[in-house]
Structure 1
Amino acid sequence: MTGIDTSSGGPAAAPWPAPSARAAVDATVSVPGSKSVTNRGLVLASLAAEPGWLRRPLRSRDTLLMADALRAMGVGIEEGADPDGGGEAWRVIPASLQGPASVDVGNAGTVMRFLPPVAALADGAVHFDGDPRAYERPLGAVIEALRALGARVEDGGRGRLPMTVYGGGALDGGAVSVDASASSQFVSALLLSGPRFNQGVEVRHTGAVLPSMPHIRMTVEMLRAAGASVDTPESGGEPGVWRVAPSALLGRDLVVEPDLSNAAPFLAAALVTGGRVTIPDWPAQTTQAGDALRGIFTAMGGSCELTGAGLTLTGTGRVRGIDADLHEVGELTPVIAAVAALADSESVLRGIAHLRLHETDRLAALAMELGELGCDVTETADGLRVRPRPLRGGVFRTYDDHRLATAAAVLGLVVDGVLVENVATTAKTLPDFPGLWTGMLGQTAPAPTAARRA
C-alpha cells in the first residue's frame, strides 16, 4: 500500500473507546454549520465592497485557519453572539489587502487553494505554510494558473507548499486552462476571486472528469448571490468552461446551512442500529454534497423523510450492500465504507480515485483499517470493493483524517472494542464530535484508554 505511513512511530497515543449502542438509536442531533459554506462565505465577504455577516458559521480548525489568514491580510472579522439571536455571528469588514503576511493552512484544502488568488490581490508578499501532509497535497494547478493570469509565485519549483505569493494589489486575470481532475477546489479557487480581477476570469478545465461537482455548483451559487455574473456549462455556456465577469461584490447577510456531510455518521447510526435520527434544519434545496446521503442510505436499507422538523432517517435493522459511483460526493466515502462493512452483501464504491490525494490516502487507509478489524476490502483502480465479514475490536488508525475518525465511531456502535486513534482530529470540521456522539447515545463521554495495535 502507498500513500499512508503505516509505521508504529513509537508508543500509540491514547485512543478513544468508541461507544457501543446497546439499543436502537433514537435521537435528534443538531449538526454545526457547513465548513464549505463558511469558508466560501468568508472569502467572498472579504472581497466585497461593504461589510457583511456570516450567521451560524462553523467554528472549527479549518474555518478558524481561514479567518486568521484573512485577518493577516488586513480583513476585519469580528466574532460574537448574533445580535438578532440564534447563536454565533461573524461580522466581516473588507479592507485593502496587505502584505507582508503569513498564512498557516493547516491541512485545509480550502485554505491552501482558495487563498493564493486572494493573496495575488494583496499589496505585498503572502507566505503560505502548513502541516506536513499539506506539503504532499496537489497545489500546482492553482500556482500555474495564477502565473498565467499575471501573478508572481515562488514555490521552489515544487508545485506545492511552502510558497510565497507576491501580490501587486491587483491581477489582470483573463482566460486560463486548468487540469482540475485532482480537485474541484482548483476551479472554485479561481472563480471566488475572479470578480476582483481586472478582466474577470475564464477557467477552462482540460483534464479528466471533474470530481465533486456539487462544490463547484456551491461556489457558483454563492458568487451569484453576492452579485457576480457567472456563466457556466449548466447555464448554457461552453462545456468545461466557467466565466466570471469583473464586478463589485455585495456584503451579504448569510445564514450558514448545517454541514450535511458531517451529518453522515449520525444518520449512519440510525441505519446500522435499526433506529431513528433527525437532523434539524436540513435544507429542502442545497448544493451540498451531503444531500446525496438521502438516496445512498435509502439504497442501503433506510428510509428518509424531510419535514419541517428536519431530515429523519429510520433504519430497518437490515443494511444492504451498494454499487455506487461516488465521484461527485467522495467526501462521504469513509462513512459509507464503514456502513458497507456492516452490510449483508458486497459493496462496490467507484469513481473516487481522487481520494488518494485528500487529508490522507483515504482508499489505502480504509482498506487497511477495515481489514485490520476483519473486513475483506480490496482497493480498485478507482475505489473500493467491500466484502463484509464478522468484525472484531481493535485500534482504528485515522492518519489525522477527520472522516476516518467518524467512520470508526460508526463501526463502534455495533462492534465491541473499537478504539479510535486521535479522535481529536474531528475538530478539523466537527467541533466536539465525541460529545455530540455520546450525547446522541445518551451516554457520558468515555475516557481515553491507552492501547497499542496488536
Structure 2
Amino acid sequence: MTSDKYIKIKAPSSKSLSHRALIAGALSEGTTVVLDPLDSNDINRTMDCLSTMGAKFHVDAGTTNVTGMTSGPKGGQKEPEILEMRDSGTTCRLITALAGAGKGLFRIQGTPRMHDRPIGALTDALESQGVKVTFSDKDGYPPVTLEADGFSGREMDISLEESSQYLSGLLLAAPLAHETAIINVVGKKAVSWPYVALTLNVMEDFRVSFEVETMQDGTWTKADWRMVEKVIPGEIRFRVNPSPYQRDEYRVEGDWSNASYFLAAGAVGNKAVKIEGLSTDSLQGDRAIMGILESMGARIESDSSGVIVHPSKLHGVEVDMGLCPDLVPTVAVAAAFADSPTTITNVAHLRIKECDRLEASAAEVMRAGGKAEMTDDSITIIPGRLKKTERIVFSTYDDHRLAMSTAIFSLAGIEAIPEEPGCVNKSFPGFWDEWAKVTKGNGC
C-alpha cells in the first residue's frame, strides 16, 4: 500500500516504560541516558518526585540524562519532603514504594481525586518492611506521611485486586532492601499483569538480580517470568536480591495505549491509518488492541515499519479486558460503530482510575446515540443510531483517556468537541495535532 492511501501517525513513547526507565536510572550509580522518554505531565510528576529524593535530570531534544541518587531516596529529617503527585496515579503508586525504601520523612499528596484513590494495600506492605505510615485524613488514602529507614527485606504480601502498580512499585524498590526481599501475591484476583512484566523487563535490562517462583505440586519452583501469562494469587512470588541498577543507555519504545485511538480510527473511519514506532512483540499489555480489533472484524497488517488498520465492518464481541484496562474507553467507542453488542468483562478496577471509567464510558457512548449497560465489573455497548451531523460536547472528566477515545466519534460524522481538551497533556500532549491528521484524512 502506498503512503497516499493511508494516514500516517508516529506513536508517542510509552508512558509506562518512561516511568520505569527514569526510576531505574534514578536508582542507578552514575549517569544513565534515557532515549525518547515521553514528554507529558505524568512523566514530569515522576521526575519531579525523583529530583526531590536526590536524582538529577538534564533534558535535551528527546534525550534525558539521569544522574542517580547517592545511597537511595532521601527524605526530610525533621519535616517531610513533599512528593506532589497531582493526578498521576502511576507516579503515586511507584514513588510511594520507593519512598518506603528510602531514608527519612516523605509526604505523599495530590489532587482531591488522588485523595479518593486507595493506597492502603501498598502501605500495609510498607509497614511490614518497618516503614511508619501516618494518614492525614482517611485511612488507606493519601495524603500520607512515611517515616522510612530502608526496607528490612522480610517477606511482604501484596494484593493486586485494585492495581498492579502496587507490585511494580515494590519490585522497583526491593533491590534497595537490606537483605533479599520476597514479595507474595495475595487476594482473590490479580489485574493488569502485563504492566508487571514491563517492570520486570526494565529491572532485567538494568541488571537487577531477581527470580520469579511459581507453586508447582506444592513446591516453589523458579519460573521464566516471560512465560507467565496469568497471575494466580498464592501461586506466585518474587525474590529480589539487594543489587545495584546498572545501564548506560535505554531507549523507550512506542506506546500501544496511546496508539489505540488511531488504530481504532483506522477500523471505523473511511481511510486506513498507519501507526509507526510500535513493536509488535512488545510486552505492553495494550498490544492486545490488535487482537481485539481483529476479533471485531478489523483488517490489520503489520511489519517492521508499523501497523496499518483498514476501514472494516465491525461486529460485537465478548472480551475479558482485565489485563488491558486502559483500552476499555477505546474499545467502548469502537464498539458503538459495530453491528451487534460488545461486552467487556473483568474491569471493576476501572472505577478507581482518574474517574469511574465504566460510568464515564457508558455516559459518553449514550451521549453519542449508542446504548450501554453495566454491572459491577463489566460494560456492554449496544450500538444505536449515532447522532451524525450533530455538534456534541463530550465530557472528559479530567481524564485523558476519555478525551482521546471520544474523539473517535468524529469519524461518525459528529462534530466531537472535548470539554477539556488540555487534559490529554497527562499522557499525550501532541494528541490533537496528530488527531487533526485523522480528521483531515477522513474529510471531517
Q: Normalized against structure 2, the TM-score is what?
A: 0.89
1:84 aligns with none
Q: Which amino acid aligns with 2:144?
A: M
Out of 218, 225, 236, the position equivalent to 2:223 is: 236
- Kindly state the Cα deviation for residue 47 of structure 1 after the two structures are TM-superposed: 1.1
2:218 aligns with none
1:115 aligns with 95
1:329 aligns with 324
Residue 98 (str. 1) matches residue 74 (str. 2): yes
- 3-state SS in 2 of match to 1:220: helix
Once the two structures are superposed, what CA deviation does each residue of 1:176-235 show, in whole Å capped at 9, x if it has no partner?
A: 112221101111110011111112321112112211110011111111111112222475
Out of 311, 314, 324, the position equivalent to 1:315 is: 311
Residue 143 (str. 1) matches residue 143 (str. 2): no
1:158 aligns with 139
> How far apart are the structure 2 equivalents of 1:322 and 1:54?
40
Q: Contact 2:97–2:169 at 8 Å: present in 1 too?
A: yes
> How far apart are the structure 1 equivalents of 2:168 and 2:319?
25
Residue 256 (str. 1) matches residue 236 (str. 2): no
Larger displacement relative to structure 2 (325-334 or 432-441): 432-441
2:110 aligns with 130
> How far apart are the structure 2 equivalents of 1:353 and 1:120?
28
1:364 aligns with 359
Q: Which amino acid aligns with 2:145?
A: T
- Kindly state the Cα deviation for residue 322 of structure 1 after the two structures are TM-superposed: 1.4
Q: Contact 1:355–1:362 at 8 Å: present in 2 too?
A: yes
> How far apart are the structure 2 equivalents of 1:361 and 1:285?
31
Out of 204, 207, 216, the position equivalent to 1:227 is: 207
1:185 aligns with 165
- Kindly state the Cα deviation for residue 290 of structure 1 after the two structures are TM-superposed: 1.9
Out of 289, 293, 297, the position equivalent to 1:297 is: 293
Residue 343 (str. 1) matches residue 324 (str. 2): no
1:38 aligns with 18
RMSD, matched Cα = 2.0
- Kindly state the Cα deviation for residue 25 of structure 1 after the two structures are TM-superposed: 8.3
Residue 267 (str. 1) matches residue 275 (str. 2): no
Q: Contact 1:341–1:387 at 8 Å: present in 2 too?
A: yes
Larger displacement relative to structure 2 (331-340 or 26-35): 26-35
Larger displacement relative to structure 2 (405-414 or 100-109): 100-109
Q: Contact 1:25–1:273 at 8 Å: present in 2 too?
A: no
1:430 aligns with 428
> How far apart are the structure 1 equivalents of 2:280 and 2:371?
37
> How far apart are the structure 2 equivalents of 1:421 and 1:71?
33
1:404 aligns with 402
> How far apart are the structure 2 equivalents of 1:200 and 1:91?
30
> How far apart are the structure 1 equivalents of 2:301 and 2:117?
38
> How far apart are the structure 2 equivalents of 1:374 and 1:441?
20
- 3-state SS in 2 of match to 1:215: helix
2:6 aligns with 26
- 3-state SS in 2 of match to 1:171: coil
Q: Which amino acid aligns with 1:57?
A: P
> How far apart are the structure 1 equivalents of 2:5 and 2:110?
39
2:42 aligns with 62
- Kindly state the Cα deviation for residue 437 of structure 1 after the two structures are TM-superposed: 0.4
1:11 aligns with none
Once the two structures are superposed, what CA deviation does each residue of 1:222-277 show, in whole Å capped at 9, x if it has no partner?
A: 11111112222475288231221111111341100011110011111110014211
Q: Which amino acid aligns with 2:142?
A: L
1:13 aligns with none
Q: Contact 1:150–1:173 at 8 Å: present in 2 too?
A: no
> How far apart are the structure 1 equivalents of 2:121 and 2:339?
42
Larger displacement relative to structure 2 (113-122 or 67-76): 113-122
- Kindly state the Cα deviation for residue 53 of structure 1 after the two structures are TM-superposed: 1.3
> How far apart are the structure 1 equivalents of 2:103 and 2:235?
35
Q: Which amino acid aligns with 1:92?
A: V
> How far apart are the structure 2 equivalents of 1:173 and 1:242?
12
Q: Contact 1:183–1:354 at 8 Å: present in 2 too?
A: yes
Query: Higher relative CO (CA 8 A, sep ≥ 6), structure 1 or 2?
Result: 1
What percent of counterpart residues are identical?
Answer: 29
Larger displacement relative to structure 2 (99-108 or 181-190): 99-108
1:378 aligns with 373
Larger displacement relative to structure 2 (256-265 or 297-306): 297-306
1:10 aligns with none
Q: Contact 1:233–1:241 at 8 Å: present in 2 too?
A: yes
> How far apart are the structure 2 equivalents of 1:113 and 1:226?
21
Q: Normalized against structure 1, the TM-score is what?
A: 0.87
Q: 1:244 to 1:423 in 2, by over 3 A?
A: same
Q: 1:322 to 1:48 in 2, by over 3 A?
A: same
- 3-state SS in 2 of match to 1:344: coil
> How far apart are the structure 2 equivalents of 1:244 and 1:274?
50
> How far apart are the structure 2 equivalents of 1:221 and 1:290?
16
What is the aligned length? 414
Out of 394, 414, 417, the position equivalent to 2:415 is: 417
> How far apart are the structure 1 equivalents of 2:56 and 2:357?
36
> How far apart are the structure 2 equivalents of 1:174 and 1:33?
36
- 3-state SS in 2 of match to 1:174: coil
Q: Which amino acid aligns with 1:420?
A: P
Q: Which amino acid aligns with 1:243?
A: R
1:12 aligns with none
1:5 aligns with none
- Kindly state the Cα deviation for residue 122 of structure 1 after the two structures are TM-superposed: 3.3
Q: Which amino acid aligns with 1:236?
A: A
Q: Which amino acid aligns with 1:250?
A: Q
Once the two structures are superposed, what CA deviation does each residue of 1:40-95 show, in whole Å capped at 9, x if it has no partner?
A: 111111111232111000000000000011111110111113xxxxxx11011012
Larger displacement relative to structure 2 (70-79 or 305-314): 305-314
- Kindly state the Cα deviation for residue 289 of structure 1 after the two structures are TM-superposed: 1.5
- Kindly state the Cα deviation for residue 435 of structure 1 after the two structures are TM-superposed: 0.9
